[in-house]
Amino acid sequence: MQTDSYRHKGMRRTLVNQLREKGIRDARVLAAIEAVPRHFFFEKAFLEQAYQDKAFPIGEGQTISQPYTVAFQTELLNLKPTDKVLEIGTGSGYQCTVLLQLTPYVYTIEYKRALYEKATMFFKKYGLKPFTFHGDGSQGLPQHAPYDKIIVTAGAPGVPKSLVRQLSVGGALVIPVGDEKTQKMMRITRVEENEFTKEEFSAFKFVPLLGKSGWESEM
Ligand code: SAM
């Protein structure tokens, strides 16, 4: 179990100020980032990197997302405390832990077994209670649908139809879409049963979404 010192809290406050300067406005999101000790997701040797606004390798060719990206996607979700949210790409569990500051109803699915197991152990160790799943989340998690919000934390070649079908009316999907080099952040809102709106935001660089509606299938 790692400890959260005054020094770490200070570094987090500095990081939150940087995110505010970069345009993150939602006070609840900034408070969530400030509340989660990002260094808990890092090996001891890399603690200094934990509060830089950068992505970092977590093994299996994957990364813990950059704090700005986590804040940007979380802001777009506009979570209410009663929202049920699905995260595709648990990875380190950091984004999931940020989501848990905003709603207790978090479902998260990870493709890579080793990362799924590590994140599940992490949640248990710190008394966090998301619903964790191992498998291909590129087509969602239909057995627990509908979701008020869905967040995809890997770059997709397109918007999977199965994901928008798993949104409740009024719900929204936040997903980076593009080629393997760069992706535009998109928000798809289900305004009525059969009516969707699409918004496009700035460009990001994510690891590729794997699986049936992703770039490749390894399973
Ligand atoms: N949310 C993560 C975090 O906070 O650390 C970000 C992790 S990384 C940017 C994206 C993750 O998506 C990787 O762990 C990768 O294995 C996972 N992934 C890729 N394709 C997936 C799929 N089809 N289903 C579930 N997870 C997937």
Nearest CA to ligand 1 atom 18: 89
Residue 140 tokens, joined:
């969602």
Does residue 217 surpass a pLDDT of 60? no
Cα separation of 169 and 171, whole Å?
5
CA of 90 from ligand 1 middle (Å) equals: 5
pTM as predicted: 0.96
Which pLDDT value is given to residue 21?
A: 98
Cα–Cα dist 139/26, whole Å: 29
Nearest alpha carbon, ligand 1 atom 15:
89
Mean pLDDT of 123-134: 98
For the chain, the structural domain boundaries read: 54-204
Cβ-based burial of 137 (10 A; exposed 0-12, middle 13-18, buried ≥19) = buried
3-state secondary structure of 185: strand
Q: Which CATH architecture has domain 54-204?
A: 3-Layer(aba) Sandwich (3.40)
168 CA to centre of ligand 1 in angstroms: 23
Is the predicted ipTM greater than 0.95, yes or no? yes
Q: Tell me what the pLDDT averaged over the chain comes to.
A: 95
For the stretch 67-119, pLDDT in tens is: 999 999 999 999 999 999 999 999 999 999 999 999 999 999 999 999 999 99
Report residues whose beta carbon is within 6 angstroms of any ligand 1 atom: 62-65, 88-89, 91-92, 94-95, 109-112, 115, 136-138, 153-154, 206-207, 209-211, 214
pLDDT tens digit sequence for 9-46 = 999 999 999 999 999 999 999 999 999 999 999 988 78
Report CA(6)–ligand 1 centroid distance (Å).
31
Convert 45-77 to b/e letters by CB count within 10 Å (16 or more is b): eeeeebbeeebbebeeebbbbbbbbbbbbbbbb
Q: Please give the number of the atom of ligand 1 that sits closest to the Cα of 212.
A: 23
Identify the band that residue 219 occupies on the pLDDT scale cut at 50, 70 and 90: very low
The catalytic site residues sit at 65
Residue 14, judged by CB atoms within 10 A of its CB (0-12, 13-18, 19+), counts as: exposed
